[in-house]
A and B are shown apart, each in its own frame.
Chain A
Amino acid sequence: MIEIRNLDFSYKKTPVFSDINLSFPQGAIYGLLGENGVGKTTLLKIICGLQRPSQGTCTVDGMTSHDRLPEMLQRIVFLPDEVTLPDNSTPQRYVDELAPFYSTFSQGTFLHLMQELEVEPERKFREMSFGQQKKSLIAASLSLGTDYVLLDEPTNGLDIPSKAQFRSILSKIADEGKTIIISTHQVRDVENLIDPIVILSHNAVLLDASVQKITEKLYFEYGGEVREDALYSELMPAGYMNVVPNTTGEESQMNIEALFNAVLRNKNQINELFK
């Protein structure tokens, strides 16, 4: 389990997190959402030990992440948004270099994922497009078999069919009990995949709840007009999308973009609702 306790973090004098608490129990796909610059990537970096918090702790299975102990690093893989790969290398050579350090690595899984994502394992990185490089790295990262997978903007650069393949692959991996944390601002790409959802704002966590809890507390309604009690409403081709407090207990289909906007515009109300 990943646990963040009373964590403060700042870049020089710019505070990013102030006294935040979060926990990521195993076996789910967490969606880490937030506006640009709220610290989504920073949080992932803190979790895998690339950044040291100014105060508080972040532990992975009880190990302080910034110590970057080999045992902790064997359990976690982080795929950053931008990676510069060795031009002359190939995805196969890339995993061959990493494999000795991960007892859980599976060559079969790697080849299977590469096939599913339609990338040749022996093709040089320099001959690949950005999207193909990204797909190779996704396959490599997931084939390491780590318990925790941290993905920063994983769908950036992927074409539409690849995004669908990516979702299907992640669903299978999550079924194996792995913990996946996806940081993204392309919320539509991961809609119906992420659960629970964590929404960050400057310095704080605005929402940390499962989809079930969200739909218990909020009602997503498609109607002809803007409701008075709407936390957020948006004009859509078929009418208005309203997000309102769920007072009747009725179930609805969550719209992740509407949720995101509703949370950002009604921080205090949302805080009260989800207390």
Chain B
Amino acid sequence: MSQTFDIKRFGQLVLHDVKRCSPRIGTVGAVMISELTFTPLMVLSQNFLTQDPHGAGYRLMLMVLMSAFLASMMPMQLYPNVGKKKFGIYFALLPASKWEKYLSMVLLSLVLVPLALMVANVAIDSLLTAVQAPYYHKYLWQSEALQWIEPAMVCNCALAFIGPTLGFIYANAIQNKTCRNIMSIVLWLWLMGGVFSMMILEMADLAGMGWYIVAAQALLAVLMGFLGWNKMKKMNY
């Protein structure tokens, strides 16, 4: 059996992590429900107040923004104690490799929970469209917005979620409380800046700069991934 990566052991670890995180699933669930309620409420109130019907593109944008914000918080919810001595010892001594432990964190925070959030979002939106709720005239995939969304915008949004999520995994492992808090603030700023950067650039007529921001965010995301893995590898308790 490989001491670096073994698929059976990794599967056991992911299952273990899901079970171990289950007491916090309540919090995650509450966040998801509030987000899922927030989007339709925003759509309804915005349309009602402005009397200027927004289409599926507006819903899509809201969904992406909200999901990116909330999904990035997941590492803080799922693995808040990895860097703390009393909790961290249990995690460090679990018979799985350091690489498997890090990958399991990434899988849960970056793939499984956001995917669940996305599926739930699309399902609710489709349901509201299917029952012809007010202002829900088209399904998301019929939106005209999909035609004018630029690749740089998609990449920026994705990286504004991936980078801070990896950053929060790293921040969890920081044992000094002050450093951890400073890191979290920086990540929040990045998350907000990253998500809104394309909108700001569009408004400032600087959309061409989009790929530079993509490149910068990609670099930072790689750095966060490296720092997180390196920290996990060398962590002492």
Whether, in the assembled complex, A97 has its beta carbon less than 8 Å from a beta carbon of chain B, the answer is: yes
Contact check, B236 vs A50: say whether CB atoms are below 8 A apart.
Answer: yes
> How far is it, in angstroms, between the C-alpha of A89 and the C-alpha of B16 when the chains are bound?
14
Give the contact stretch, choosing among B46-54, B70-78, B85-93, B182-190: B85-93
Contact check, B89 vs A50: say whether CB atoms are below 8 A apart.
Answer: yes
Whether, in the assembled complex, A70 has its beta carbon less than 8 Å from a beta carbon of chain B, the answer is: yes
Residues of B within 8 A of A82 (CB): 86
> In the complex, which range does the number of interface residues on chain A fall in?
20 to 34
Residues of A within 8 A of B100 (CB): 70
Question: Chain B contact residues: over half helix, strand or loop, or mixed?
Answer: helix
Q: Tell me the residues in window 1-38 of chain B with beta carbons closer than 8 Å to chain A beta carbons.
A: 1, 3, 6, 9, 12, 15-16, 19-20, 23
Contact check, B87 vs A84: say whether CB atoms are below 8 A apart.
Answer: yes
Whether, in the assembled complex, A78 has its beta carbon less than 8 Å from a beta carbon of chain B, the answer is: yes
Contact check, B93 vs A83: say whether CB atoms are below 8 A apart.
Answer: no
- Nearest to A98 among chain B residues (CB) is B94
CB of B75, distance to nearest CB on chain A (Å): 18
With A70-B9, A101-B95 known as contacts, the answer to whether A83 contacts B86 (CB < 8 A) is yes
- Of A68, A70, A76, A83, the contact of B90 (CB 8 Å cutoff): A83
Contact check, A71 vs B3: say whether CB atoms are below 8 A apart.
Answer: yes
With A78-B89, A80-B89, A86-B23 known as contacts, the answer to whether A101 contacts B236 (CB < 8 A) is no
Residues of B within 8 A of A102 (CB): 95
Q: Tell me the residues in window 198-237 of chain B with beta carbons closer than 8 Å to chain A beta carbons.
A: 234, 236-237
Contact check, B23 vs A88: say whether CB atoms are below 8 A apart.
Answer: yes
Whether, in the assembled complex, B97 has its beta carbon less than 8 Å from a beta carbon of chain A, the answer is: yes
- Of A52, A68, A87, A88, the contact of B98 (CB 8 Å cutoff): A68
